[in-house]
Amino acid sequence: MTDTSALDSLVDEWLTVPDVAYRLGLDAGKVRRLVQEGRIVGVRRGNPRVVSIPGAFLVPEYLENPANSTRNRPENAAGDGEPAAKWAVLASLMGTFTLLRDAGFDDAEAIGWLFSPDETLQMTPIEALRTGHKTAVRRIAQTLL
């Protein structure tokens, strides 16, 4: 299992289950279900030790599937050009987590892999997923099997 202090050096923002629930507009029980279903993963960290989820797993709703170019950036009602504050779980995570679990990764190791730079991608796998390069990330993850 990966040391959570090592993960802290890789992950910029950690969210607790209540933080994720607030951002997604869900109750905490539904967020826990997302974790149980493998749509997102988290690790116990901090003092007291609570389930923490990388903030990068959540994206503005219009970027939920970055490869879907038909969704435009929404404008908020104030008309100031800022995006509306609706959030979603990055759609490509679930299948990627499945591949990593098949390769024997636990949740902490999966987070470590997603946030570690990859020479082939020339960025971290999470950055690649957030910019629509799901196929390239999964191709690399399959080599870990």
Question: Where does the pLDDT of residue 73 fall: very low under 50, low under 70, confident under 90, or very high at 90 and above?
Answer: low
For residue 138, give the 3-state DSSP assignment: helix
Tens digits of residue pLDDT in 88-114? 999 999 999 999 999 999 999 999 999
Q: What is the pTM of this model?
A: 0.87
Q: Which amino acid is at 115?
A: F
Q: Which region among 7-11, 84-88, 125-129 has the lowest average model confidence (pLDDT)?
A: 84-88
Rounded CA-CA distance 134/65 in Å is: 10
Mean pLDDT, range 124-144, rounded to an integer: 97
Q: Are 77 and 133 in contact (CB under 8 A)?
A: no
Residue 89 β-bridge partners: 58
CB distance 126 to 84 below 8 Å = no
Instruction: Give the per-residue pLDDT at 80.
Output: 54
What phi and psi values does residue 49 have, to the nearest 5 degrees? -75, 115
Which residue ranges make up each domain of the chain?
A: 4-142
As a whole number of angstroms, the distance between CA 106 and CA 56 comes to: 18
pLDDT band at 72 (very low <50, low <70, confident <90, very high): low
pLDDT digits (tens, 9 = 90+) for 13-47: 999 999 999 999 999 999 999 999 999 999 999 88
Output phi, psi for 43, to 5 deg. -135, 155
